Structure formats: structure tokens, C-alpha cells
């Protein structure tokens, strides 16, 4: 069983990743979750996380982290995820009451990691602002971090600019701090996440199948419509790749690199770049291939498990 902390900005695809996570308590123990400004403003993505955890009947401690990137201004993705960061479902007022354990996500993560008796896996599906600050402010926590599994970046092409993926584009300074930290990292970039998801036929099968499947249906239907505008043939549930990888790494194949992120203000901002030096370790496992069928089946099975709870 892996102990994880999960930093996110839900977010349609973050939400599906969260559903898959809580379908597998036998494999993933979630010690805490944090939010960060990204797909929507911090207040909205935090509210969305509260709603999801209320729906899932969880009692996981959560805390909002940084509202804006370390240096650059925040750019949202409300065109894809909706004005409130999670288009589609509605939740009762009671769901707003899901408690916040702290108002400072970075120190909250530090407390969990420093107090854990076993090393922690960090899952990060949003701009890396909180994680970069954690590594800078509490460098001693490095010793208790087993790995950081990130959705972000791309070695092929971007989705905000020709080169840059959204999470790395929004806070390239944070992405650079994390990738160059030397810690063991698994990078689920667009190279695989564009193929981690469901077809419109698969999404349709979720309707009325059960409460969790229905929620996924309500989230994925507008999300797929928005993504289709970007020319994608299936709903690319990017953030899901992190959890799918943790649940079954054999679904993916990757290669190790030493990387940094272009944090200039120029047109290459947010681009992942391979270090030409051979000094230091190739600490980043970049996932390059995914077995689409197995990844989508794992999600469908996970939702069915949740439906029965």
C-alpha cells in the first residue's frame, strides 16, 4: 500500500483521477490533499475538491495552497473546465461544509510528510507551485519523499503553446524547481496523457450506471465537448495517468532523462528541455507509451467499484 499526498486543481480530469484514487483504498492511502490556483481560481478548485470528497464520503484532511504561481501571473483554463473549474455536476449546499484542515497547503504538506513514518509519494496534477515551495522552504522533507508523480509537460508538443503543456506553462518556475530537484520523478506528460481517457461511446455507457459513474458522465460530457474543439478524438483525462500509473505501472513504458523547464517570458516558456550535460542523475522517468485499452478499462472498473460502495 502506498501513502500518498495529492496536490490538484479540480478540474474535470483531476476529478476523474480523484474518483479512481478512492476506488482503491487497498492500494492507495491518501494522507492529505491540497489545492492550487490552476484550472480555476483557488477558491473555486478548493470548493470543487470539497464537493468531490463529500460525494465520496471521505474524511481526508485537505488544505488550500497557493493562489498564484511563484513569479508569473495565474492563467486559468475555464474555457475547458467551465467557469467554476468543474463544469457539469451540481452538489447540495451540505457539500460546501466539507472541512478544511488548514489554510496553508505548503505547511500542511510539510506536516504530513515530516511526521510520516514511511516515505510518501506526492501526486501532482496541477501547476507545481505548492510542491516547489515545499521543496524550497522545507528541504529536509526530501528525505521522506519516495517519488513525485506529476501530470505536466510534454516531450513532443504542447497544449497551450506549440511547445508547452498547461501545468508547466502556468508555473514554469515551479516546474523547473521540481524537475531539477534530483528527486525521483515520474512525468506523465501529454505524450501519454493524450491517450489516457475514454471514447465518447465509453462515456455514454456511464450514464445511469450508478452514482459514481453518473458523476463521471456529468463531468466528462462537457469536458469532451470542450476538448473536441481542440481536435482530440477521445476525452484525454490527463491527470488520470498519475493514478493509473501508481495502480498499475505496467500499463506504461518510459525512459529516464535529466530535464529542466524553460522559465523565460519568451515563446519557449514552459517547454521541457533535456539537459545536455551528463553530470547528475537522470532522475525523471518520462512515460512515453500507454496501453489505452487497459488504462480505460481500469477507469471503468474503478467507477463500477465506487458505484457499489
194-213: contacts with Ca ion (CB under 5 A): none
Q: Does 125 sit near Ca ion (CB under 5 A)?
A: yes
State the residue number with the nearest CB to ligand BDR.
Answer: 166
Comparison of 135 and 175: residue with beta carbon closer to ligand BDR: 175
Cβ at position 287, least distance to ligand BDR in Å: 14
Q: Answer with the entry of ligand BDR, Ca ion, none that 165 interacts with (C-beta below 5 to 8 A by kind).
A: ligand BDR
Comparison of 159 and 213: residue with beta carbon closer to ligand BDR: 159
Size of the site for Ca ion (CB under 5 A): 6
Q: What is the C-alpha radius of gyration for the chain, rounded to an integer number of angstroms?
A: 18
The residue ranges that bind ligand BDR (CB under 6 A) are 11, 13-14, 39, 77, 80, 125-126, 151, 159, 165-167, 238-239
Stretches 16-24, 120-128, 242-250, 296-304: which one binds Ca ion (CB under 5 A)?
Answer: 120-128
Cβ at position 39, least distance to Ca ion in Å: 6
Residue 263 and residue 169: Cα distance in Å, rounded? 8
Catalytic residue among 208, 238, 256, 260: 238
Place of cell 488520470: 240
Q: CB count, 10 Å around CB of 307? A: 17
Contact 120, 145 (CB under 8 A): yes
Q: Does 82 sit near Ca ion (CB under 5 A)?
A: no
Cβ at position 193, least distance to ligand BDR in Å: 7
Comparison of 141 and 239: residue with beta carbon closer to ligand BDR: 239
Identify the residue among 4, 11, 185, 190 touching Ca ion (CB under 5 A): 11
Residue 249 and residue 202: Cα distance in Å, rounded? 23
Catalytic residue list contains 238: yes
Q: Does 239 sit near Ca ion (CB under 5 A)?
A: yes
Record the cell numbers describing residue 30, joined without a space.
491518501
Q: Answer with the entry of ligand BDR, Ca ion, none that 24 interacts with (C-beta below 5 to 8 A by kind).
A: none
Comparison of 11 and 141: residue with beta carbon closer to ligand BDR: 11
Q: Does 126 sit near Ca ion (CB under 5 A)?
A: yes
Place of cell 511547445: 163
Planar angle of CA 109, 105, 219, nearest 5 degrees? 105
Using a 10 angstrom Cβ sphere, with 0-12 exposed, 13-18 middle and 19 or more buried, the burial of residue 177 is: buried
Cα dihedral 46→181→108→32 (10° resolution): 60
Name 91's Cβ contacts closer than 8 Å, sequence gap at least 6: 51, 54, 55
2-8 and 235-236 as β-strands: parallel, antiparallel, unpaired? unpaired
Q: Does 188 sit near Ca ion (CB under 5 A)?
A: no
Using a 10 angstrom Cβ sphere, with 0-12 exposed, 13-18 middle and 19 or more buried, the burial of residue 248 is: middle
Identify the residue among 14, 165, 176, 227 touching Ca ion (CB under 5 A): 14
DSSP codes joined into one string, 198-229: E-HHHHHTTTTS-HHHHHHHHHHHHHHHHHHT
Q: Give the residue numbers annotated as catalytic, written as ranges.
A: 238
The residues of the shown chain that bind Ca ion, judged by CB under 5 A, are 9, 11, 14, 125-126, 239
Amino acid at each position: 500500500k502506498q501513502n500518498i499526498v495529492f496536490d490538484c486543481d479540480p478540474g474535470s480530469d483531476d476529478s476523474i483521477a480523484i474518483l479512481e484514487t478512492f476506488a482503491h483504498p487497498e492500494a492507495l492511502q491518501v494522507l492529505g490533499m491540497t489545492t492550487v490556483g490552476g484550472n480555476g481560481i483557488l477558491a473555486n478548485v478548493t470548493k470543487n475538491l470539497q464537493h468531490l470528497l463529500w460525494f465520496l464520503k471521505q474524511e481526508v484532511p485537505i488544505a488550500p495552497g497557493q493562489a498564484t504561481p511563484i513569479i508569473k501571473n495565474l492563467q486559468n483554463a475555464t474555457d475547458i473546465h467551465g467557469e467554476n473549474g468543474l463544469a457539469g455536476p451540481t452538489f447540495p449546499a451540505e457539500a460546501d461544509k466539507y472541512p478544511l484542515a488548514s489554510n496553508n497547503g505548503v505547511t500542511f504538506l510539510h506536516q504530513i510528510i515530516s511526521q510520516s513514518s514511511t516515505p510518501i509519494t506526492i501526486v501532482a496534477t496541477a501547476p507545481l507551485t505548492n510542491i516547489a515551495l515545499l521543496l524550497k522552504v522545507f528541504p529536509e522533507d526530501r528525505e521522506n519523499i519516495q517519488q513525485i508523480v506529476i501530470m505536466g509537460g510534454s516531450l513532443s508538443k504542447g497544449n497551450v503553446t506549440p511547445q508547452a503543456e498547461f501545468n508547466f506553462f502556468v508555473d514554469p518556475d515551479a516546474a523547473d524547481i521540481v524537475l531539477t530537484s534530483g528527486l525521483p520523478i515520474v512525468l506523465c506528460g501529454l505524450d501519454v496523457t493524450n491517450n489516457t481517457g475514454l471514447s465518447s461511446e465509453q462515456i455514454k455507457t456511464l450514464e445511469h450506471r450508478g452514482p459514481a459513474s453518473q458523476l463521471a458522465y456529468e463531468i466528462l460530457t462537457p469536458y469532451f465537448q470542450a476538448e473536441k474543439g481542440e481536435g482530440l478524438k477521445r476525452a484525454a483525462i490527463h491527470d488520470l495517468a498519475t493514478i493509473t500509473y501508481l495502480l498499475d505501472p505496467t500499463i506504461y513504458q518510459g525512459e529516464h532523462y535529466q530535464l529542466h523547464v524553460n522559465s523565460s517570458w519568451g515563446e519557449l516558456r514552459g517547454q521541457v528541455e533535456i539537459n545536455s550535460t551528463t553530470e547528475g542523475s537522470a532522475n525523471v522517468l518520462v512515460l512515453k507509451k500507454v496501453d489505452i485499452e487497459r488504462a480505460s478499462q481500469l477507469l471503468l472498473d474503478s467507477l463500477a467499484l465506487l458505484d457499489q460502495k
